[in-house]
Amino acid sequence: MNRQDIYEEALLKWGAESQIYMLIEEMAELTKAVCKYYRGKRTQDDVLEEMVDVEIMIEQMKIIFDYNGRFNELKKKKLKRLHNMLLGRE
């Protein structure tokens, strides 16, 4: 089973609404880990673990929300804008 199959299987098993709430929960856990990291109460590994959880949920969100395949196009556009900002063009 490849990654995409696993994401699709998770959505089939628990449903889109449940996975959207799981995304919110995982984002909150990442927020908390980052905040605590800066207070010396979490390690870099703790933050990384929460980043992975969020990324796994984001991949499932792409299946739900990116039905017209615009994610990569928007990401490219936003990265180009960031690059321009770094170059002082925006």
Rounded to the nearest whole angstrom, what is the least distance from the CB of residue 49 to Mg ion in the complex?
A: 7
Residue 10 binding Mg ion, by CB under 5 A: no
Residue 57 binding Mg ion, by CB under 5 A: no
Nearer to Mg ion, 10 or 50 (CB): 50
Cα radius of gyration (the chain): 16
Nearer to Mg ion, 4 or 31 (CB): 31
- Residue number, nearest CB to Mg ion: 53
Question: Quick count: other Cβ atoms within 10 Å of Cβ 10?
Answer: 18
Pairwise CA distance, residues 79 & 83, whole Å: 6
Selected from 29, 32, 42, 62, the binder of Mg ion by CB under 5 A is: 29
Contact yes or no for 47/37 (Cβ under 8 A) = yes
Binding site for Mg ion (CB under 5 A): 26, 29, 50, 53
